[in-house]
């Protein structure tokens, strides 16, 4: 067996078998492989499928027949597969292509058994092609005498899956390959025969239905001649439409459809569609609107009673009410019309009360409330409805929400709008552009209804965890209100005023039987949970009360149970979260950064290490870092190398070793530029051999010149620093306006140091030489 080195082209959506001629769209990797083949391997390259869980063990050697472009202008190449080879290990080669060592396979002897299998497979293949009327292909199959070539011709078979073709590619033995193909082809042929029989039966059934329709039409004509009249169903719909409180254009459209129903037959398939459409139109609350409560003070009291904090969104709702109240007092139009609606997007981490806030807003306004869950919706028809021509067509979720609410001015909560997907059925986010635009939604048109629907008086509330996944055009149509999580004091107040009473009621307890002290609540919020919301906090309260209920079971006259800090281990176990920045930063080369995720703010430890002297210089990055974060690491290392003297590094040779930067946790993807200053600090700490102060956190983008640029999410990051027990946070100078939004109790516990130069930040963040030496001693 001989071996040779060839550039490799991996294909994800195509399996190529020997003898096949196929066009290949050229991306960057494919272009590199084709160029390498033309320049260094006589136009030959290795083509192999890309598997999900392993590397392919076999591929084909292919020749480049022609280079050109597809109809859409994209570059492409036509390749012809020659022979099957075994794939070895990767080798170095010229160019940017990946080179692989391949091993030629020994020729196989064609025995009588193999010829018999080939004859049987040819018969099954020809029988299958005859059912498809593929006579030209049958002629080509008849001309093939080589069993291996006949088996590999199955690469063109449309009824074989890619996985089956991969199995054929990785089966070099001709007899085994033919045996598998015979089994698959016979099964497909049997399935095709069954499907053809079913299609014939269906066609005959349709012809029978047409005969029945014709006879029923004749029967109706006979009944009309006899004066027996017709069913009064259509007349009933006309009466309902005329008596309903419909807009004029909707009334005309409905009467037009009633006319079609009257002229048609009750047995006509269209009659069922017309009745369903008319029922949908008549069920919509066209003339029904609830009267808004315009008492601003009462509205604020309701919002405060339902939710603690969340001042931004409460103020926005109160402002909305105040404007409507003033317009009503001055006799101006209050409902309906272009641009009169409101669309708010509540963005924040899970558990801060976004969804429940929608119900409170509806109760404040005195409106109906409907929740529309958008998480995972991928079909545009879910928003705009299906065309009436489809069987089982329905209106979209917006129309169904209005029907469910029973009024034209409800509060509609579009839950999890950031998790809307898209596929071949369209993009639901694009359909929401008209729904959520106050300048357009007064003439919203559902595909099923095909009449204008006024959504201008609907109050839309959208909730999301992150705004990055919301299309920019859709985000531009909504007024953004950020909910950045709760402070420790907020959580204690929420637990005392909202969560604990609710869980006491669910556990069938009263405040006279079980009491949790404020100190215990603070301990739970600080050491047993680390979340921006309060969902886990409520679960822990429920757990403690369940244990208390268990202890009270069977006791006739129990004393009041008081759960204090010292009792928490008995009821909840050990604390799950304790400040770890002191432990993590006790060695040089580790710095504490701050980040924002879909779950709110969080601390991020960045570790830097240097390889042994004499090793190959370079930079290794681990921890599932995105491209922006990788660039930040390269910028940080370049800055430290260029400004070693300014940073006090007396032995810059350590920076010329192989540097390894790791960002735990390795299983969590991370990206963004705000870790730049943290990476500079970690590398400098490693080079100086002095640890970073354990109580310090930092965030900021860094430039090659050492400038500290502003970042996003300053409020969430400072709240995360407080939860993690940090007392000093370095923040870019240009983020100073963001401090106005940070709760006062957070600023009281965390000292914010504004900086513009990363060298000053590093000097203040790293332990002085004398202190680090004494700490090491």
For the annotated binding site for ATP, the residues are 348-355
Output b/e per residue, 702-718; b: 16+ Cβ within 10 A: beeebebbbbebbbbbb
Q: Which of 532, 689, 660, 691 is nearest to 596 (CA)?
A: 532
Catalytic residue among 581, 674, 685, 772: 674
Kindly report whether the peptide bond that precedes residue 276 is cis, defined as omega within 30 degrees of 0. no
* Rg value, the chain, Cα: 36
Tokens standing for 102? 């391949």
Output b/e per residue, 17-36; b: 16+ Cβ within 10 A: bbbbebebebeeebbbbbbb
Angle between helices 269-283 and 397-405 (to 10 degrees): 50
Q: Please say whether the beta carbons of 437 and 423 come within 8 A.
A: no
Give Cβ neighbours of residue 233 (< 8 Å, ≥ 6 apart).
261, 266, 275
Helical spans, DSSP H, in 333-460: 354-365, 381-384, 397-405, 428-435
Cα–Cα dist 553/371, whole Å: 40
Q: Please say whether the beta carbons of 676 and 594 come within 8 A.
A: no
Whether 674 is catalytic: yes
Catalytic residue among 154, 632, 717, 772: 717
Tokens standing for 313? 């969104």
86 backbone dihedrals φ, ψ, rounded to 5°? -90, 135
Count how many Cα atoms sit within 13 Å of the Cα of residue 172 in the half-sphere of its side chain: 16
Cα–Cα dist 457/434, whole Å: 14
Cα–Cα dist 632/701, whole Å: 8
Whether 717 is catalytic: yes
Q: 448: how many CB neighbours lie within 10 A of its CB?
A: 22
Look at strands 728-732 and 696-698 and give their pairing: parallel
Torsion of CA 631, 636, 641, 646, to 10 degrees: 150
Q: Which of 282, 317, 283 is nearest to 300 (CA)?
A: 317
Q: Angle at Cα 431 formed by Cα 429 and Cα 436, nearest 5°?
A: 85
Give Cβ neighbours of residue 510 (< 8 Å, ≥ 6 apart).
504
Annotated binding residues, as ranges? 348-355
Q: Which of 411, 410, 426 is nearest to 462 (CA)?
A: 411
Q: Which of 369, 363, 364 is nearest to 325 (CA)?
A: 364
Q: Please say whether the beta carbons of 465 and 347 come within 8 A.
A: yes
Tokens standing for 489? 């004091």
Q: Please say whether the beta carbons of 446 and 250 come within 8 A.
A: no
In Å, how far from its chain's centre is CA 278? 37
Tokens standing for 527? 């050491």
* Catalytic residue annotation: 674, 717
């Amino acid at each position: 067996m001989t071996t040779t080195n060839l550039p490799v082209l991996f294909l994800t959506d195509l399996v190529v078998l020997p003898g096949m001629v196929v066009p290949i769209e050229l991306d960057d990797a494919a272009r590199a492989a084709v160029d390498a083949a033309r320049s260094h391997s006589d136009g030959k390259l290795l083509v192999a499928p890309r598997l999900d869980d392993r590397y392919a063990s076999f591929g084909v050697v292919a020749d480049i027949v022609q280079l050109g472009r597809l109809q859409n202008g994209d570059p492409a190449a036509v390749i012809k597969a020659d022979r099957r080879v075994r794939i070895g290990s990767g080798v170095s080669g010229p160019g940017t292509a990946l080179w692989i060592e391949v091993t030629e396979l020994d020729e196989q002897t064609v025995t009588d058994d193999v010829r018999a299998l080939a004859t049987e497979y040819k018969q099954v293949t020809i029988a299958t092609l005859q059912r498809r009327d593929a006579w030209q292909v049958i002629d080509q199959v008849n001309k093939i005498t080589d069993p291996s070539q006949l088996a590999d011709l199955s690469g063109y078979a449309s009824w074989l899956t890619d996985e089956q073709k991969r199995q054929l590619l990785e089966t070099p033995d001709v007899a085994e390959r033919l045996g598998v193909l015979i089994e698959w082809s016979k099964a497909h042929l049997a399935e095709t025969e069954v499907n053809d029989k079913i299609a014939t039966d269906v066609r005959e059934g349709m012809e029978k239905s047409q005969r029945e329709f014709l006879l029923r039409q004749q029967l109706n004509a006979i009944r009309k001649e006899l004066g027996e009249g017709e069913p009064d169903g259509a007349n009933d719909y006309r009466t309902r439409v005329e008596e309903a409180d419909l807009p004029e254009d909707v009334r005309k459209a409905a009467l037009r459809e009633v006319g079609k129903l009257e002229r048609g037959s009750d047995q006509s398939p269209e009659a069922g569609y017309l009745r369903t459409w008319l029922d949908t139109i008549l069920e919509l609350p066209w003339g029904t609107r609830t009267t808004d409560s315009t008492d601003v003070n009462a509205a604020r009291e309701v919002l405060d009673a339902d939710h603690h904090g969340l001042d931004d969104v409460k103020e926005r709702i109160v402002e909305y009410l105040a404007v409507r109240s003033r317009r009503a007092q001055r006799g101006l139009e209050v409902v309906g019309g272009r641009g009169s609606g409101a669309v708010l997007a509540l963005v924040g981490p899970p558990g801060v009360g976004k969804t429940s806030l929608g119900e409170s807003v509806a109760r404040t306004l005195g409106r109906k409330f409907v929740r529309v869950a958008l998480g995972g919706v991928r079909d545009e028809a879910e928003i705009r409805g299906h065309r009436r021509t489809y069987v089982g067509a329905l209106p979209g979720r917006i129309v169904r929400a209005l029907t469910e609410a029973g009024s034209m001015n409800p509060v509609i909560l579009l839950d999890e709008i950031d998790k809307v997907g898209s596929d071949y059925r369209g993009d639901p986010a694009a359909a929401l552009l008209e729904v959520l635009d106050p300048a357009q939604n007064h003439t919203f048109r559902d595909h099923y209804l095909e009449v204008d629907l006024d959504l201008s008086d609907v109050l839309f509330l959208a909730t999301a965890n992150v705004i990055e996944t919301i299309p920019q055009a859709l985000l531009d149509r909504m007024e953004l209100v950020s909910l950045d999580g709760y402070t420790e004091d907020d959580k204690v107040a929420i637990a005392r005023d909202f969560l604990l009473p609710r869980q006491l009621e669910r556990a069938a307890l009263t405040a006279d039987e079980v009491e949790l002290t404020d100190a215990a609540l603070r301990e739970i919020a600080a050491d047993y949970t680390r979340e921006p919301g309060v969902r886990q906090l409520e679960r822990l309260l429920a757990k403690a009360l369940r244990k208390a209920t268990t202890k009270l079971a069977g006791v006739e006259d129990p004393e009041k149970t008081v759960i204090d800090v010292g009792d928490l281990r008995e009821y909840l176990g050990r604390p799950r979260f304790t400040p770890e920045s002191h432990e993590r930063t006790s060695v040089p080369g580790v710095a504490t950064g701050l980040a924002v995720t879909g779950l709110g703010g969080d601390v991020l430890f960045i570790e830097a290490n240097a390889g042994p002297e004499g090793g190959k210089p370079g930079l290794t990055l681990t921890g599932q870092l995105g491209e922006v974060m990788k660039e930040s690491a390269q910028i940080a290392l370049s800055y430290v190398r260029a400004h070693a003297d300014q940073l006090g590094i007396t032995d810059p040779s350590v920076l010329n070793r192989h540097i390894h930067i790791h960002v735990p946790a390795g299983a969590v993807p991370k990206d963004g530029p705000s870790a730049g200053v943290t990476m500079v600090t970690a590398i400098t700490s490693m080079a100086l051999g002095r640890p970073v102060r354990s109580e310090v956190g930092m965030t900021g983008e860094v430039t090659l010149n050492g400038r500290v640029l502003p970042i996003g999410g300053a409020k969430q990051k400072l709240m995360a620093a407080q939860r993690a027990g940090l007392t000093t946070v370095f923040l870019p100078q240009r983020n100073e306006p963001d401090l106005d939004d940070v709760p006062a109790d957070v600023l009281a516990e965390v000292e914010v140091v504004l900086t513009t130069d990363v060298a000053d930040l590093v000097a203040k963040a790293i332990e002085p030489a004398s202190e680090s030496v004494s700490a090491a001693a």
